Amino acid sequence: MENSVVIDKDAEKQLILKEYRSLLRSLKKNYTPQEKKMIRAAFELAAESHKDMRRKSGEPYIIHPIQVAKIVAEEMGLDAVSVVCALLHDTVEDTEVTLEEIERMFNKEVAKIVDGLTKISGVFDLNSSIQAENFRKLLLTLNDDIRVILVKIADRLHNLRTLDSLKREKQLKIASETLYLYAPLAHRMGLYAIKTEMEDLALKYTEPEVYHEIAQKLQEKKKERAKFIADFIKPLKEELEKRGYKFDIYGRPKSIYSIYNKIKKKGVPFEEIYDLFAIRIILHSEPDKEKSDCWGVYSAITDIYHPNPDRLRDWLSNPKANGYEALHTTVMSHQGKWVEIQIRTDRMHEIAEKGFAAHWKYKEGSTDNALDEWLQKIHNVLSNPDANALELVNDFKHELVSDEIFVFTPKGDLKRLRKGATALDFAFEIHSEVGKKCIGAKVNNKLVPLSYVLKNGDQIEILTSSKQTPNEDWLSYVVTAKARSIIKQTLKEEKKAIAQQGREVLEKRMKQLKMEVNEANLTLLANYFKMVSPMDLYLAVANKKVDLVALEELEVIAGKVKLPKPAQAHKPGADENIDEVVKKTLQKNAELLIMGESSDKIDYKFAPCCNPIPGDDVFGFLTINEGIKIHRTNCPNAVQLMSRYAYRIIKTRWTKQHEIAFLTGIKLTGIDDVGLVNKITNVITGQMNLNMRSISFDSEDGIFEGKIMVYVHDTKELEDLISRLSALDGILEVSRFDSEDAEKY
């Protein structure tokens, strides 16, 4: 008899009603009876449409739209229309409901947002081969109705909260996409609480061991941290009360993801990360006293603790483009630790937590204009139909996560640019034609080159010439998406014109030699001259980088070009190096299971950017020219690969390990001492009998840093090696390191 799952319909009905009532409780009190009626109608339509559908976890599908609507209402504080659209966001995509029905039942506004959500629902489809183009479509909805992207962010957050029921490869894909695009988008929308939760949940699935280790250490230090915060806050509280302020003050732990980033960036262990929390002061201020109250509190703090002058962040005078306002300072505690303090008012706090939504509640010209300006700028960059979608999305992604600087025009107008922007970026910010003709700039009345990196408060005057045109070098001078997009487009147009000249010369010569001018012959000639495409060949001809006399040596049969056979490649013999031996051995043995097949049946390589070894969590990536490359899931390139090319990710895992050596890197730091290198090599070659490919040591002021490339059999052997090296006197830290070379996909 077949096993069948018995579904208790009554219990499910009660669960759905319980979730719906929970949603109703989270709605804003100022919703009108008409709006509540509309939400009820949306719930009933969604419940009916999804009634026979289930999620991977087995629960009724309708629970998902209710939870998304709850995030939209409670955590984002959005309007009734957004709640309705959240309830209906999957109906047109997954059920029989049509847009026309939605418009008829609700209104055009609801139909437009649901349409936007439907159009981008396939953006991250596992089998999508045009993912970058879909990313662009997703981002273009930013300008149609911002609520489309906000509901999509809520949808993604609920998916992350319920990832446990999905397969490992799907978890990795969703988590990677989140880190690549959704978390930066939430940050840019000012949704800091959501962005933080997204990053933490993504880390939980991409690097579970690291996540749980940091979470456990934070838990262990909780009591100690609470005492430190209480001692730190006490004098502050007394002083602020004495001065008559009304406020809340508390310690807020930093996110696991931000701690993980600090560990990676600074190369220090958890125990040496001091800023594991920040102190937050929320002032209950009158609207006209907000700024003066914040600065008054800053003054009170610095009377008690010494501030770090380099760590004052004033977002009161110049709020961030997403509307964030606050005063941040870092002070030295009486226990000798730096502590960050964030000073905000109730209004600023709501904007910081709920971002864009709070702007509809607090309409303030300056921040709204900044957001509109930013959205318009992004729309202009992304809507260029000829641009490469992947490059655009990558440029845009950097735009999302960058800090801002504030600079001025000669007339004193304020301009916002991302941190690291140059004089040339500023020129393109003023106008695309000003950027194209830019020859230099005057910053604070001093002449500077195009590549000059701007600082906060700089005043810039752009110098132009009608003879100036952009060149390839300019791409290394700019960091903003707008500038890069215009430069690339201009260079592309110039290349087309030059290539056309080269094409005419080539075709004329082909006709003289009785070669037919067709795609097959042009591709053959491109291969013959070792060019990637006929376009590259045209450019080379125009720039006189190829000699067309070589065409006379080719055989032509009835107009078709016949290329000479390539010479036989040299077969390496006894002098081949250890890398080649390892590579050959790998092809004869099956340590990996790729798509369910033994790897001896599939052509693959190990990615040099992360050098995977048996025991590592790995995935396969289908490259364009080099077959399958095996990467570690925590490879520096993994997030981008899984996000941008999910359709090229191949399920891969280790099976049995053979006696084969895999190349990996080890980094050591310690106190320089005579004979230390000898002790290190003795552990590697003497005690553990391992082969080294290279070893290098640098020493400065008594501290040394060493890098060793060594062949190990698996992660267990690597951990043993790291443990033995760490035990040596004088060694402070030993860690595995990845190649710093960017991978070519």
Residue 131 pLDDT exceeds 80? no
Delineate the domains of the chain, giving CATH numbers in brackets: 9-201 (1.10.3210.10), 214-366 (3.30.460.10), 367-485 (3.10.20.30), 489-562 (no CATH), 577-745 (3.30.70.260)
The pLDDT, as a whole number, for residue 304 is 93
Q: Compute the 3-state secondary structure of the chain and give helix, strand, coil in percent, each to the nearest 5.
A: 50, 15, 30
Report pLDDT digits (tens) over 676-717.
788 888 888 888 888 888 888 887 767 788 888 888 877 888
Q: What is the SS3 string spanning 254-322? A: CCHHHHHHHHHHHCCCHHHCCCCEEEEEEECCCHHHHHHHHHHHHHHHHHHCEECHHHCEECCCCCCCC
560 token code pair: 């078709």
- At 433-478, the pLDDT tens digits run 999 889 888 888 888 888 899 987 788 999 888 888 888 888 888 8
| Residues whose CB is less than 8 angstroms from the CB of residue 609 and which lie 6 or more positions away in sequence, other chains included | 631, 635, 636, 637, 738, 739, 741, 742, 743
Burial 178-190 (b: 16+ CB within 10 A, else e): bbbbbbbbbbbbb
Q: Give the pLDDT band of residue 104 (cuts 50, 70, 90).
A: confident
**b (16+ CB within 10 A) / e for 555-594:** eeeeeebeeeeeeeeeeeeeeeeeeeebeeebeeebbbbb
pLDDT at position 296 is 92
Q: What is the pLDDT of residues 395-409, one digit of tens each?
A: 555 556 566 777 888
| Known catalytic residue at 93 | yes
For residue 23, the model assigns a pLDDT of 82
- pLDDT for 295: 94
274 pLDDT band (50/70/90 cuts)?
low
Per-residue model confidence (pLDDT) at position 344: 93
Question: What are the two backbone dihedrals, phi and then psi, of residue 736, each rounded to the nearest 5 degrees?
Answer: -80, 140
How far apart CA 215 and CA 33 sit, in angstroms, is 44
% of the chain exceeding 70 in pLDDT = 79
CB 286 within 8 A of CB 275: no
Neighbours of 408 (CB within 10 A): 14
Pick from 481, 383, 321: nearest CA to 140: 383
- How sure is the predictor about 510, in pLDDT bands with cuts at 50, 70 and 90? confident
25 vs 709: CA distance, rounded Å? 59
Determine contact, residues 278/340, Cβ cutoff 8 Å.
yes
In the numeric block, the tokens 């290329």 are attached to: 563
| Eight-class DSSP state of 136 | H
pLDDT at residue 29, as a whole number: 65
Distance between CA 183 and CA 206 in Å, rounded?
14
Residue 500 has pLDDT above 60, yes or no: yes
* Active-site hit among 35, 59, 94, 103: 94
E runs forming strands in 590-690 = 592-594, 597-598, 604-606, 618-622, 628-632, 649-650, 652-654, 662-671
Q: Is 329 helix (H, G, I), strand (E, B) or coil?
A: strand
64-78, 586-600, 631-645: range with lowest mean pLDDT: 586-600
Which residue matches tokens 């001093």?
A: 446
Between CA 649 and CA 623 the distance in angstroms is: 10
For the segment 99-105, the average pLDDT, to the nearest whole number, is 86
Segment 509-526 shows an average pLDDT of 82
Catalytic residue among 12, 74, 93, 733: 93
Residue 94 among the catalytic residues: yes
Annotate 701-714 with DSSP letters as a single string. Answer: TTEEEEEEEEEESS
| Average pLDDT value for residue range 264-292 | 82
Residues 6+ away with beta carbon under 8 Å from 456: 405, 406, 407
What is the Rg, in whole angstroms, of the alpha carbon atoms belonging to the chain?
30
- With a cut of 70, say whether residue 313 has pLDDT above it: yes
CB 642 within 8 A of CB 743: no
For residue 731, list its beta bridge partners: 670
Q: How confident is the model at residue 238 (pLDDT cuts 50, 70, 90)?
A: very high
d(CA 665, CA 660): 16
Residue found under tokens 């993801």: 257
Considering the chain, what is the average pLDDT of its residues? 78
Whether residue 571 is predicted with pLDDT greater than 80 in this model: the reply is no
The stretch 726-735 carries a mean pLDDT of: 84
CB 287 within 8 A of CB 332: no
Answer yes or no: are the C-beta atoms of 224 and 274 closer than 8 Å: no
Looking from the CA of 476 toward its CB, the CA atoms found within 13 Å total 3
Helix ranges, 546-667 (H): 578-588, 638-644
Amino acid at 467: K
- Whose structure tokens read 């992004």? 378
Q: Which of 219-228, 450-459, 621-630 has the lowest mean pLDDT?
A: 621-630
Q: Give the lowest-confidence range in 77-91, 127-141, 350-364.
A: 127-141
Q: What is the pLDDT of residue 157?
A: 92
Distance of alpha carbon 721 from alpha carbon 518, whole angstroms? 60
Position 540 pLDDT exceeds 90: no
| pLDDT of 367 over the 60 cut | no
In the block, tokens 């735009």 appear at 399
Q: In one letter, which amino acid is 728?
A: L
Cα separation of 351 and 346, whole Å?
9
pLDDT, tens digit, 9 for 90 and up, residues 155-186: 999 999 988 888 888 888 888 888 877 888 88
Contact 409, 418 (CB under 8 A): no
**From 151-155, 249-253, 524-528, 537-541, the region with the lowest mean pLDDT:** 524-528
At residue 121 the predicted structure's pLDDT band, cuts being 50, 70 and 90, is low
